[in-house]
């Protein structure tokens, strides 16, 4: 079978790569082309556009780059028609992918949406588009199946693919009394979010001289970009070693996104940090209809981890939260207990394999 996969972000590249592994297990004649990154390429996908050229964040930035986005959309449609895939698999990235889905539906090309747009948070009207133009919707969060059911969308819940990717949690890790605690900083994967969040994270370094601070860097961003903010501070930047860093961390400061869930599943006490552009945030406040911004709290439907958003993300608040994460035994224990419950809610391992089997069945079994 010929598969075309579109992933526009690092997390989509990760999940796309694991999905390709699952497809290889059920389809010996697999051919894959698409948009993604190095992980998908390593699994044999022919990458025609790298996600580093696609990541536009926030309303203002999207508006400023609309010509590039429209050019990418036109190229994508043309490339799919020339490739003639048996199915196109869309991974998250909804602003772009839903436009592609409409085009594919008109051209009678099968569409699978893997990792649904977060329509339960905002732009709920997208549900009707999904129902009309998507042949199979595969979701990874436990509450999504029931959400889509109320709109007559038959979503398949396969569990969360991060459970296949991550090593065991480190909640029980023993720290020697004389060992310097490591505080991990995960400031995001886009330059604009790093620029807003990392300086605040770095501002608390002087309050914890007993700790070692380390930044989880993104190779496509480059070490030099981080050094613009770290200056002469003694802080390490490690590339492509986020899980290893978290495995040795006693606490973490994490920009909202998939990384908040990764950190929790690895058993590291965390504080969630978010600061967007003033215009984008003002618009988002009017449109977003959820109580929390972190996946951890959304899935648990309660405030398991502290969220410091916009003006609340400042040195004073962050210092107090990091102190709790490092030193408050009850605070840490309660968080570890909630993390265990979180893993149970997300289902067992094998999400990528179940998603691959669902897609292969769509292509091979009678409807």
Residue bearing the bigger pLDDT, 361 or 367: 361
Question: What mean pLDDT do residues 289-306 have?
Answer: 89
Q: Give residue 58's pLDDT.
A: 47
Residues in CB range of 350: below 8 A, 6 or more apart: 159, 164
**DSSP per-residue string spanning 189-231:** SSHHHHHHHHHHHHHTGGG-TTSEEEEEE-TTT-HHHHHHHHT
The band of 57, judged by pLDDT with boundaries at 50, 70 and 90, is: very low
The band of 190, judged by pLDDT with boundaries at 50, 70 and 90, is: confident
Question: What mean pLDDT do residues 231-237 have?
Answer: 93
**DSSP per-residue string spanning 321-339:** HHHHHHH-HHHHHHHHHHH
Percent of the chain whose predicted confidence (pLDDT) is above 70: 89
pTM for the complete prediction?
0.77
Residues in CB range of 217: below 8 A, 6 or more apart: 223, 226, 237, 238, 239
**Helices and strands (H and E) in the chain: how many:** 17, 13
- Average pLDDT over the chain, rounded to whole? 89
Do residues 154 and 144 touch, judged by C-beta distance below 8 A?
A: no
Query: Hey, CA dihedral for 144, 146, 150, 156, is it positive or negative?
Result: positive
Do residues 5 and 356 touch, judged by C-beta distance below 8 A?
A: no
Question: What mean pLDDT do residues 117-142 have?
Answer: 88
- Going from the N-terminus, what domains does the chain have, and what CATH number goes with each? 2-161+350-364 (3.40.50.2000), 182-345 (3.40.50.2000)
Q: Give residue 235's pLDDT.
A: 95
Residues 41-54: tens digit of each pLDDT? 999 999 999 987 76
Report the alpha-carbon angle 338-342-347, nearest 5. 155
Question: What mean pLDDT do residues 60-84 have?
Answer: 80
Q: What is the 3-state secondary structure (H, E, C) of 92-112?
A: CCHHHHHHHHHHHHHCCCCEE
């Amino acid at each position: 079978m010929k598969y075309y996969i579109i992933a526009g972000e690092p997390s989509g590249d990760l999940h796309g790569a694991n999905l390709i592994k699952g497809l290889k297990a059920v389809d010996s004649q697999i051919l894959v082309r698409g948009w993604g990154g190095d992980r998908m390429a390593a699994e044999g996908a022919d990458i025609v556009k790298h996600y580093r050229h696609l990541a536009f964040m926030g309303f203002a930035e999207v508006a400023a780059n609309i010509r590039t986005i429209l050019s990418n959309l036109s190229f994508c449609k043309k490339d799919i028609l020339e490739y003639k895939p048996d199915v196109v698999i869309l991974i998250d990235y909804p602003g772009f992918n839903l436009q592609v889905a409409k085009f594919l539906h008109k051209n009678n090309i099968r569409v699978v949406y893997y990792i649904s747009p977060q329509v339960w948070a905002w732009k709920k009207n997208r549900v009707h588009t999904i129902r009309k133009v998507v042949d199979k919707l595969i979701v990874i969060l436990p509450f999504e199946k029931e959400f889509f059911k109320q709109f007559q969308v038959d979503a398949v819940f396969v569990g969360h693919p991060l459970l296949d990717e991550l090593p065991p949690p480190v909640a029980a890790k023993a720290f020697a009394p004389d060992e310097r605690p490591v505080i991990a900083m995960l400031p995001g994967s886009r330059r604009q979010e790093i620029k807003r969040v990392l300086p605040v994270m770095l501002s608390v370094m002087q309050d914890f001289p007993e700790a070692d601070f380390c930044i989880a860097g993104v190779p496509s961003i480059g070490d030099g970009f981080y050094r613009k903010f770290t200056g002469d501070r003694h802080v390490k930047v490690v590339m492509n070693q986020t899980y290893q860093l978290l495995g040795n961390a006693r606490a973490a400061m994490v920009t909202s996104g998939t990384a908040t869930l990764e950190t929790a599943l690895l058993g590291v006490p965390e504080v969630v940090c978010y600061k967007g552009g003033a215009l984008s945030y003002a618009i988002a406040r009017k449109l977003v209809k959820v109580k929390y911004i972190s996946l951890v709290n959304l899935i648990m439907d309660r405030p398991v981890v502290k969220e410091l958003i916009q003006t609340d993300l400042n040195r004073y608040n962050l210092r107090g939260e990091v102190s709790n994460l490092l030193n408050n035994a009850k605070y840490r224990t309660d968080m570890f207990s909630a993390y265990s419950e979180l893993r149970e809610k997300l289902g067992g391992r094998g999400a990528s394999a179940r998603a691959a089997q669902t897609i292969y069945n769509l292509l091979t079994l009678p409807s």
